[in-house]
Amino acid sequence: MGAIYNLSGRFAIVTGGAGGLGLGIARALLDAGAGVELWDANAAGLAEAATELGASIRTVDITDRSAVDRATAAAFSAHGRIDILINNAGVLGEVKPIWETSPEDFQRVLQVNLFGAYLVTRAVVGRMRQQASRPSRVTPHPLRGHVVNIASIQGKEGMASAVAYSASKAGLIALTKSVAKETARDGIIVTAITPAAAETAMAREISAERRADILGRIPMARFVEVEEVARMVLWLSSDECSFSTGGIFDLSGGRATY
């Protein structure tokens, strides 16, 4: 039996909520008692997710500053407060050596994976800082919220033929550390995880040769399960995570041990 976290009375936003990883994270949050709003640019996928999970949804292009600001204002208005932000939205981009990549694709990947996370964090944390802190169930130090960024092991190591994706995730790791320092006295915990590849739609975009290459780098010789990612996010979103701000948590099956 897994650890049980009580997130009743908490409300979460999960970006990239129409995808497999977003759905798995949202399901775990809902099972722990949290209210959840899924954000995604894929309106049809969001509708399916809403039917499957019963979560509220909002169609948002996270690369559009005005859209993000409007969505954030609407979410705070609808729910009163946001306690948990999961920056999960991401795209893979081209799997090519840098000299064969297109600048347009590189820019698109950074726009979604890094700039989009920046815009959402900027908007949500800006308001989160102004909301009342909540007495914690496990620590005497009140908390205003948690932000969990879904980075990647490639952001630590880099990877050939993944320059845009690796760079965007490395940037997300640095963003995590910087925002954590800025909000350390506000009762806002900001962390990131660095998973290896998971069995999601993104993993199915790669060739069999690429898949074998990635698998060969993982000492456990398997991809991470969506549920394993969700369990880590659940702890990082809970009151039990109260002094680990700025932490980058490994989920790589031993691929990187730092």
Q: How many CB atoms lie within 10 A of CB 103?
A: 8
Residue 229 buriedness (CB in 10 A; 0-12 / 13-18 / 19+):
buried
User: Rounded distance, CA 116 to CA 68, Å?
Assistant: 9
CA-CA distance, 81 to 75, in Å (whole number)?
8
Distance in angstroms (rounded) separating the CA atoms of residues 95 and 161: 5
Indicate the helix (H) or strand (E) that contains 95.
none
Q: What residues are labeled active site?
A: 165
